[in-house]
Amino acid sequence: MTLILTTLCIVLSALTSDPSGPGERAHCSLATLTTAERARDHELVTVLADALKERRDLTDGYAYRFEPGVMKELGEWLQIVAKCCQPLRYEVSLEPQPAGALWVRITGHEAKEFIGLEFASLAKKLAAKDGHR
């Protein structure tokens, strides 16, 4: 997702601070990611941003709709992000095919603002797509 998130965790760490040490944040632990995982995350975000179709506001987070063709990349990306941001909940649903939507819901207790800020660049890209239609 054009969220220049070297992962969801990296942006999250910029949004919060914790005196317990570097890499430790309210919703994220950067120490769990390798350099290779951070690099792969950046690659996947680009692919996912292009496939993003919709964002919905949820009580405790957001739901994002993607083109079903990126299910493999979405799963790989979520595996990386979930390793870093363990307190958040990630739910993936695939509606009946061939035309069904692919959704990911990212939620967490007191994490909505954090999630919204992290995915702000995705929302901007989505708005730009809608403006060109």
Entry pTM? 0.71
pLDDT 10s digits, 52-71: 999 999 998 999 999 999 99
102 pairs with which residues across the strands?
Answer: 66, 94
| Stretch 16-21: mean pLDDT | 36
Beta strand ranges found along the chain (DSSP E): 52-58, 61-66, 89-94, 102-107
What pLDDT, on the 0 to 100 scale, is given for residue 24? 38
pLDDT 10s digits, 61-113: 999 999 999 999 999 999 998 898 888 899 999 999 888 999 999 998 777 88
Compare 20 and 46 and report the one with higher pLDDT: 46
Q: What angle do CA 113, 118, 123 make, to 5 degrees?
A: 95
Residues 71/47, Cβ–Cβ less than 8 Å:
no
Of the candidates 56, 54, 60, 6, the residue with the CA atom closest to the CA atom of residue 34: 6
Of the candidates 36, 22, 72, the residue with the CA atom closest to the CA atom of residue 51: 72
